[in-house]
Amino acid sequence: METIGRERGGASTVSSADPDQYRVGINLRVRQAIVFSSPTFLTHDTAKTRTADYIGQEGESKGPVVLKIILVVLVLVVAGVMTFIRLAPSEPAAWHVDPLTVPLPEMNGFLLRPEGGNAVSPVVAEDPVALLTRLDAVALAWPRTMRLAGSPEEGRITYVTRTWLMGYPDYTTVATVPVQGGVAVVVYGRQRFGSGDWGVNRARIDAWLAALGLPAT
């Protein structure tokens, strides 16, 4: 009669001649299978692999969440900056200045006056109030432009013009000064935020002068 024996790897072999011994062998193999498949007998490499897989899955699941948080923060920051720019008050005392006495702007504006400006003022043989009244109508018809201070009768007017997208404010002060042959048109355009206006203020001044039938700068 054959007996139960051991083979490679600790596995047992049994003869099928004796039913009792066969059942014993089957039970032994089942127990071995349960024991060797339990977490206690996992190899160190297998444990590390499962841990790495778990960490990788956690990282993949947290990645989109972190990205969403960053995007939300950026949107809030941009919205806050745009709100500040649009709602920041424009103090007339700070912007309704005499264009004949201000320093020459470098990159953030353009100054048109009889002397000491970026360009020389055109001279018009016209009543100063009538000239400023026409210029006031041109300025108020310009997109996103409103009067901040002054009037034609005062002899000086300051306007606020905002950019289309961000609402950046530009300030334009117009005035007249008596000169030989009539009155000179004085215009001072400048921006509030940033260090360079890319010629925007000069282009606006040229457009207003053209609307009055005057030569560009």
Q: CA–CA separation, 124 vs 127, rounded Å?
A: 9
**97 and 199 co-located in one domain:** yes
Note whether 169 and 146 are within 8 A (CB): no
Which tokens sit at 11?
A: 């596995």
**pLDDT of residue 57 exceeding 90:** no
Residues 115 and 179 in one domain: yes
- Domains in the chain, number: 3
**Do residues 125 and 182 share a domain?**
yes
> Is residue 47 pLDDT above 50, yes or no?
yes
In this structure, are 102 and 154 located in the same domain? yes
Residue 67 has pLDDT above 90, yes or no: no
State the residue range of the domain holding 49.
42-87
Residues present in the chain in total? 217
Question: Does residue 80 sit in the same domain as residue 101?
Answer: no
82, part of any domain: yes
Mean pLDDT of 156-181: 94
- For residue 216, is it within any domain? no
Same domain, 194 and 147: yes
- What pLDDT score does 95 carry? 97
For the ranges 37-41, 131-135, 146-150, 162-166, which has the lowest average pLDDT? 37-41
Amino acid letter, residue 171: Y
Residue that is written with structure tokens 């457009």 in the block: 207
Q: What is the pLDDT of residue 5?
A: 43
**Domain CATH number, residue 112:** 3.30.310.80
My answer on whether 135 and 169 are in the same domain is yes
Query: According to the 3-state scheme, what is the secondary structure of 6-39?
Result: ECHHHCEECCCCCHHHHHHHHHHHHHHHHHHCCH
Q: Model confidence over 80-121: pLDDT tens digits? A: 766 766 667 889 999 999 999 999 998 899 999 999 999 999
Given this model, what pLDDT does residue 39 score? Answer: 53
* Same-domain pairing of 102 and 173: yes
Q: Do 197 and 172 form a contact (C-beta atoms < 8 A)?
A: no
At residue 9, does pLDDT exceed 50? Answer: no
Cα atoms found within 13 Å of the Cα of residue 61, Cβ hemisphere only: 6
Is 217 within a domain? no
Q: Mark whether 122 and 148 lie in a shared domain.
A: yes
Let me know whether 67 and 165 are in one domain. no
